[in-house]
Structures are given as C-alpha cells and as structure tokens.
Amino acid sequence: MNTNRNTSLVVAAGVAFIFGLLTILSGGRALFGGAEARAAVGNAVPFVLWFNFLAGFAYVVAGIGLFLRHSPAVWVSIGILASTFLVMLAFALHISEGGAYEMRTVGAMILRTGVWAVISVVAWKHIRQAPKP
C-alpha cells in the first residue's frame, strides 16, 4: 500500500464501498424479493427506495475511486451527498403532506446524509486539497 495513503481516506473508501454493497443488497431485496421481503419494508416510499438502491452503485464507484485517490471520486462523493440531501427534502415534503412512511426511513436518510457529508469532507481534504507529488 502507498505510504502516502491517509488512514481516514482508506476508512472512508471502505465505508463507502461496504455501505454501497449493503445498500444494493437490501434495496434489491426490497424491490425484487418475494412478497415476504416486500411486506417487511412496510410503508416504504417508492422514490426513496429506488433512489437508495441506485445510489448504492454510486457508493461502490465512489469507494473504489477514493481508495485509488482519483480526483473525480471527490465530485462523485459530493454529488451523492447533494442528491441524498435533495431526496431527503422530497421525503420530508412527502411526510408533511401526510404520506405514509416508516420511521426507520427517516433515520436511514439522516444517517446516509451524515455519512456522505463526512466522506465528502475527507475526500476533499485528502484528494482535492492534497499537495500534488
């Protein structure tokens, strides 16, 4: 491993990658699983479920890019953060209009936004602002 690689960047890359795989797995099960899997998600909001499932693939790409220290991974991370925040706002609007939802989705969206805020800051600090060799 490159000795210039920062531990926090490696951790952020690993979190992004694993979070992505888990998101794809759980979202795929909810969207494409049998009746029992679909029933387990309860009052899932379809646009949130689809967004999170598809975003899981971007998480994996970002994780790989961050591990390789590719500068586009910084922008992918920031894009994930921004789009997750926008979906969270749309979800809040859905709730305010009386739409059905699961409380665990509220927590999950806050968690996702927080995780990507931290990953984006780490990526910016260690890739975008890092001195070039």
Whether residue 34 lies inside any domain: the answer is yes
Range of the domain at 57: 7-128
Whether residue 119 lies inside any domain: the answer is yes
% of the chain exceeding 70 in pLDDT: 93
Whether residue 37 lies inside any domain: the answer is yes
Confidence of residue 131 (pLDDT cuts 50, 70, 90): low
Measured CA to CA, the distance from residue 74 to residue 63 in angstroms comes to 10
Instruction: Indicate the number of domains in the chain.
Output: 1
Whether residue 123 lies inside any domain: the answer is yes
Give pLDDT, residue 38. 84
Q: What is the pLDDT of residues 34-58, one digit of tens each?
A: 889 888 889 999 999 999 999 999 9
Give pLDDT, residue 1. 44
What are the φ/ψ torsions at residue 71 (nearest 5 degrees)?
-60, -30
Residues 36 and 69: beta-carbon distance below 8 Å: no
Cα–Cα nearest to 115, from 65, 62, 69: 62
Cα–Cα nearest to 112, from 83, 132, 90: 83
Stated pTM of the model: 0.90
Whether residue 1 lies inside any domain: the answer is no
Whether residue 133 lies inside any domain: the answer is no
Whether residue 33 lies inside any domain: the answer is yes
Whether residue 90 lies inside any domain: the answer is yes
